[in-house]
Amino acid sequence: QEEKAELESRIRKALKDQDAVLVAHYYVDPDIQRIAEETGGCVADSLEMARFGNRHPASTVVVAGVKFMGETAKILNPEKRVLMPTLEATCSLDIGCPADEFAEFCDQHPDRTVVVYANTSAAVKARADWVVTSSCAQAIVEHLDARGEKILWAPDQHLGSYIQKTTGTDMLLWQGSCIVHEEFKFQGLEDLKALYPDAAVLVHPESPAQVVEMADVVGSTSQLIQAVQSLPNERFIVATDNGIFYKMQQLAPNKTLIEAPTAGNGATCRSCAHCPWMAMNGLENLLHVIEHGDQEIQVDETLREDALKPLRRMLDFTA
């Protein structure tokens, strides 16, 4: 405990010394989320993380999350130094959508508007017309549909088919998935709901369709956090990374939060509902990178300019 307090005070000092601001995702270690809040940084989803890093005057942005979030910060802020606790923290959606294969896929469908989820590499974004996150995907697809555009969507198939269903848009889907959300199980959720019939079921749309269909609220991380605050229910069953419980409980201390089951028997499994790459962000590597400045995000300048256009479109659309 003392060791943790020592690490935390060194992190706070190092942030000041380096003119750095800490931006953390809802899925990372609660200790890191708390330090980000207490030092004037932010805790947010990937859309808000991008906005915040862009707005903040600090010359160094430290991104606690996964690599695409660091890359997004660098694409938007080439003049700033962008550090991450570890550059090894990636995402199954990013891994499952290699830029060369994706470019081929796009070349085969030149008549479609290319919309990619933020959870992709800079090279994949550079090939896209639009970048979206789960909090603005639906509105952007509706906007494109109203203009009569057909869409090529990548990489998350579950979010893609959810939006396809709700908007009725013509969408061709890349078959990627999130290894955390695809573990949520319909049968287990049904059993848990029978145990707690009064609970509201909150589901992130990266989950399988059957699980999404059981939801009272389907939404991005920030939308699910809002639901816990605004719905009258006392109990919530939550199907997204359990790192989010820190923020939910902070904003709604009197509500009871239950993890959605990741196994068919209704048992929960902490390690299943937590992203292994988000979990690579710890106090020690966070301190190390602020003090030493290694693990710096670099994005090739041509790639950066190409990736900036679809990202800017998203930020302008949601402004």
- Please give the residue ranges that form the binding site for ligand SF4 (CB under 6 A): 27, 66, 91-93, 119, 178-180, 206, 241, 275, 277-278
Q: List the alpha helices (DSSP H) in the chain.
A: 2-17, 30-38, 46-55, 67-76, 92-95, 99-108, 122-126, 137-146, 157-167, 186-195, 209-213, 221-230, 245-251, 283-292, 301-318
- We find the least distance from the C-beta atom of residue 238 to ligand SF4, in angstroms, to be 14
Site for ligand CIZ in 68-127 (CB under 6 A): 118-119
Q: Is 118 known as a binding-site position?
A: yes
Q: Which of 31, 26, 73 is nearest to 286 (CA)?
A: 31
Q: Which of 45, 94, 183, 259 binds ligand CIZ (CB under 6 A)?
A: 45
What track of x and - describes contact with ligand CIZ for positions 3 through 42 (by CB under 6 A)? ----------------------------------------
Q: Which of 65, 31, 60, 61 is nearest to 45 (CA)?
A: 65
**Residues 221, 206: Cα–Cα separation, whole Å:** 11
**Residues 164, 152: Cα–Cα separation, whole Å:** 11
Q: Is 205 known as a binding-site position?
A: yes
Q: Which does 179 bind (CB under 5 to 8 A by kind): ligand CIZ, ligand SF4, none?
A: ligand SF4
- Distance from the first to the final alpha carbon of the chain: 42
Asked if 23 contacts 66 with a C-beta cutoff of 8 angstroms, the reply is: no
Nearer to ligand CIZ by C-beta: 88 or 234?
88
Asked if 225 contacts 244 with a C-beta cutoff of 8 angstroms, the reply is: yes
- We find the least distance from the C-beta atom of residue 305 to ligand SF4, in angstroms, to be 25
Nearer to ligand CIZ by C-beta: 29 or 206?
206
Q: Is 106 known as a binding-site position?
A: no
Q: Which of 133, 138, 164, 281 binds ligand CIZ (CB under 6 A)?
A: 133
Name the β-bridge partners of 217: 202
Nearer to ligand CIZ by C-beta: 18 or 176?
176
What track of x and - describes contact with ligand CIZ for positions 231 through 260 (by CB under 6 A)? ------------------------------
DSSP state of 280: G
Q: Which of 60, 120, 169, 221 binds ligand CIZ (CB under 6 A)?
A: 221
Q: Which parts of this chain interact with ligand CIZ (CB under 6 A)? A: 45-46, 118-119, 133-134, 178, 206, 220-221
